[in-house]
Amino acid sequence: MEIYRWREGLRRRALELAEAVASAVDGTVLLIGSYARGDLAEDSDVDVLVVGRFTEPPHRRLLGLKTPPGVEVVPLTVEEALRAAERCYPVAHDIALGIVLKDGLGIAQRLVELSRRCAEGR
């Protein structure tokens, strides 16, 4: 029972960190990776997908974002995210199992549905 409480505490903290990122950005935000899947470990980082209307190249998209330690942010444009889901790129499996934290662009449902098709092998 103690390990269950410990893991739930880690997951709660991960959600708090991910929600802090979500509140600091415009766009659609999902918690992805091990914390969303529930197979986290003590040294797992918190993976957050931010889908936004970025115009900068990928390496410049997060320059103004103060990311908490232990949080890895993946910034994609709407087009990149939808293409990844449609073509079943590896991130599509993470999106299929992700937790939507914010849907500022109104695309979360479509993105998750497309991604779930990949996870189901369709």
Residue 122 pLDDT exceeds 70: no
- CA R_g for the chain: 14
Mean pLDDT estimate for the chain: 92
Position 57 scores a pLDDT of: 93
CATH number, domain of 114, equals 3.30.460.10
- Give the predicted TM-score (pTM) of the model: 0.91
**Model confidence over 59-116: pLDDT tens digits?**
899 998 989 889 999 999 999 999 999 999 999 999 999 999 999 999 999 999 999 9
Q: Which two tokens stand for residue 23?
A: 């509140």
The total number of structural domains that make up the chain: 1
For 17, the domain range is 2-119
The alpha-helical segments, DSSP class H, found in 1-122 are: 2-24, 34-37, 78-86, 90-96, 108-119
Position 22 scores a pLDDT of: 94
Residue 12 pLDDT exceeds 70: yes
